[in-house]
Copies of this chain bind each other. A is one copy, B any other.
């Protein structure tokens, strides 16, 4: 058996693990230092300071590091390229954080990292500073023990992930040569709530849009004008009812045309996952799940598109009655997309549907991100699985897809590189919320996982190859 398939650390990796154990206190204290620096992309706070801080940190490690400007905040790109013949892994993360509001809900201030009960509380602790800092410490630990890395490494840290990654696609298209890699590893998101590790092979895409209906030039009295003056809320209700039916089926013309069914391998992997239906019902105090009720939640989240109304607002909202015919209303929606739905095509179809059923309703495109999927049998899939197994001592859960968005498509669809999401944070990291935190044991397990992946890639006998050669692969490659 190869070292990979034994799922235990070989001698080189064991020494790295020992180094990590011996240095855990200073690792934690250095993460606290890093978290003290705000880098809020939405508010343009501290962005270039943190980008420069990262360049300094990575240069000291021995990587060639620099910032590369974009139309927005700069990318931080670092590389180490002295393992000829070994594969190249691109480690992706993001150095921007969510705004910390509401401040009053934080037990300790968001940029004064505080340890309580084995957790580090700070904005960015889980999303994503604690995770990419663990990746950096994995590199450092290999350097410290072996004076070198087991494989070639590219580290790409984005400054705009929390504002929807508006420039990463253009950046990746413009710098294909700099970003040539055999695989991508993203350390983001949470472990399973049982603390089991997860490897995710794709993410759903998203389009979001707004529907705006207007009728009269002002609200009018429902007694004097009801039934005479059109009501934009009724207009939107009747339009929405044509877009998804009460059974939960999306009925927008053509919406489901390009949906690819999951492969046998994906079905089998998903069937092995812990069932979450009862947990979701208990946690959210739900009597039933959404229609169709007989579909396992994991299937819904990985293999099916959605159409979600995020908000519907029009007319009177105060206490008691108010007898008006409102003059305007709006609806905000998002749709999660699966392979091979193309966001622009989907937005075109939704717009055509709206024009057909409610020609006076305004349709506004808000944002779109394509779905992404790496086949379960893509190159390095087994290597990554074995490394994660070795770091955690337990077999990882295999997610064919994530429900939520990451700009993963830039790697799979633009670069054609297999991409794996390997989260380090605890399930209750409270990302995007007050009291964001990372458990110290999860953080250190993250450093070990990062180290194990590098070690496994150095020993890998798998050969690189584009992910789009596989007939079973549901993805589409950007021309």
Contact = CB atoms under 8 A, between A and B. Distances in A.
Contacts of A221: 403-404
B312 A222 contact: no
B228 A367 contact: no
B332 A316 contact: yes
A147 interface: no
B204 A284 contact: no
Contact of A300 (B208, B228, B230, B315): B228
A228 B315 contact: no
A311 B217 CA distance: 17
For A321, A322, A324, the residue with the greatest tally of chain B CB atoms inside 10 Å of its CB is: A321
A68 interface: no
A244 to B, nearest CB: 7
A105 to B, nearest CB: 14
A315 B323 contact: no
Contacts of A224: 301, 403-404
A289 B246 CA distance: 29
A363 to B, nearest CB: 14
Interface stretch (A106-114, A174-182, A235-243, A343-351): A235-243
A326 interface: yes
A360 interface: yes
A290 to B, nearest CB: 5
A274 to B, nearest CB: 15
Nearest to A228: B297
Nearest to A367: B321
B323 A206 contact: yes
Contact-size category for A: 35 or more
A310 B326 contact: yes
A465 interface: no
Contact of A310 (B204, B208, B321, B367): B321
A438 interface: no
Interface string A201-231: 0001010100000011110111111111111
Interface in A304-338: 304, 306, 308-317, 320-326, 329, 332, 334, 336
B244 A234 contact: yes
Contact of A317 (B216, B291, B308, B313): B313
A326 B311 contact: yes
A300 B222 CA distance: 12
Contacts of A252: none
A415 interface: no
Contact of A215 (B208, B227, B286, B310): B286
A224 to B, nearest CB: 5
A227 B336 contact: yes
Interface in A239-295: 240-241, 244-246, 248, 280, 284-291
A46 to B, nearest CB: 22
A402 interface: yes
Contact of A316 (B311, B314, B320, B402): B311
A287 to B, nearest CB: 7
A366 interface: yes
B321 A334 contact: yes
Given A227-B304, A229-B280, A315-B312, A222 B334 contact: yes
A320 B206 contact: no
A314 B315 contact: no
A48 interface: no
Contact of A306 (B227, B245, B301, B321): B227
A306 B230 contact: no
Interface string A380-409: 000000000000000000000011110000
26 contacts: A206-B323, A208-B323, A216-B284, A217-B285, A218-B284, A224-B301, A226-B334, A226-B336, A227-B300, A227-B301, A228-B290, A228-B297, A229-B286, A230-B286, A237-B237, A237-B241, A238-B245, A308-B323, A309-B315, A310-B315, A311-B314, A311-B315, A315-B332, A320-B366, A321-B332, A323-B334
